[in-house]
Amino acid sequence: MGLSVSPSFIIPTHTESFGLGRQLPVTDYLDRLQAYVEAAERVGFVGAFIYDFPGAMDPWLAAFDLLEHSTRLQPIVAVRPHTEVAESLARRLVDLRYRYGRPVHVNLVSGATGSARSAADLADPGAARRRLADYAADLRAELRRRAGASGTGTLVFTPASRTPGRVGADCVLTTARPRAELARTLARIDAAEPGSPVAVLVGAIARETSAQAWAAAGELYPDDRRLAVASRLFRAQLLSSEHVERYRFADKAEVHDEVLWYGASAGAIDAPKLVGSVEDVTRWLADCIDDGATELIIDLPPNPEEFVHIAQVLDLLLDTPRPQMR
């Protein structure tokens, strides 16, 4: 289809399931990470998002593991500005670029739940948005001071928010939602962050036929009472507008647009999944790009073998060669 997008994915955590269950033995965790990394690099993925939430490993240690086990993936690390000064972060980014010869990016987040946010952010969401913008500016200034004109190649990402205020990010993140709603969301982001690229996060279960894809979805995401309970507990703590909207769409219907599925046990903890034939999934993504999305983030699949099927979608959707992060 002649489209040019840099695909990214979410890296696996060090626990049995994503952020839940017991910690894996270290060798098992690293073997699993290696399997995902190799599969993602074969497909042509570029960015690798690293989340920060209570059950996750420290995101910078996870970033180090990713850099050690990959040859070209570029980490995009979640950073909560109230936990670290920009000067310290800039030093780490400059040194990692030197050490591994590729850029490391940051995803500036306030935190999805109240416990993840600072008291000041909870008291005034508008001021919190302004602090994200100030932090992004301070980080860029410190990177220029340390790295000079050549820079580090670091990009600043941030999630979309319904709280007014421009952060000035290099890329704004949002989650897939029903097509009409997504078009409105992309227009709202463009008004808030004019000219900024927008990345859409979505899962993908693609097969030769739609029937095969739906059968695979049932096998890949069986009913899991533990995940369902965790989803309800997570929902009770939510402040993030992106996550709140995921639950709202899931409440309305399990399937939207015939392919956008909210029915996995984890509910809106995870991104919704596109389930259908390779052509159906590709068509939905192409329409999404037509509406203004410029980057694509594929949610972590249940196993690395799924990247073979995801590659079929990307081959149909995107230009090759794919590797780039601007």
Q: Residue by residue, what is the 3-state secondary structure of 66-126?
A: HHHHCCCCEEEEEECHHHCCHHHHHHHHHHHHHHHCCCCEEEECCCCEHHHCCHHHHHCHH
Where exactly are the structural domains of the chain? 7-202+277-317
Single-letter amino acid, residue 107:
N
259-282 pLDDT per residue, tens: 999 987 555 567 899 999 999 999
- Predicted pLDDT of residue 291: 93
At residue 283, φ and ψ (nearest 5 deg) are: -60, -40
With contact defined as beta carbons under 8 Å apart, do 13 and 48 qualify?
A: no
Question: Is residue 17 scored above 90 in pLDDT?
Answer: no
Euclidean distance between CA atoms 161 and 261, whole angstroms: 23
Cα dihedral 202, 204, 209, 213, rounded to 10, equals -110
311-323 pLDDT per residue, tens: 999 999 985 444 4
90-120 pLDDT per residue, tens: 999 999 999 999 999 999 987 544 555 566 6
Single-letter amino acid, residue 166:
R
Q: What is the mean pLDDT of the chain?
A: 86
Euclidean distance between CA atoms 324 and 72, whole angstroms: 10
| pTM summary value | 0.88
State in words which class domain 7-202+277-317 has.
Answer: alpha beta
Strands 105-108 and 156-159, bridge-based pairing: parallel
Across 86-244, the runs of DSSP E, i.e. the strands, are 105-108, 156-159, 171-175, 198-207
At residue 323, φ and ψ (nearest 5 deg) are: -50, 125
Over range 128-155, report the average pLDDT: 88
With contact defined as beta carbons under 8 Å apart, do 9 and 66 qualify?
A: no
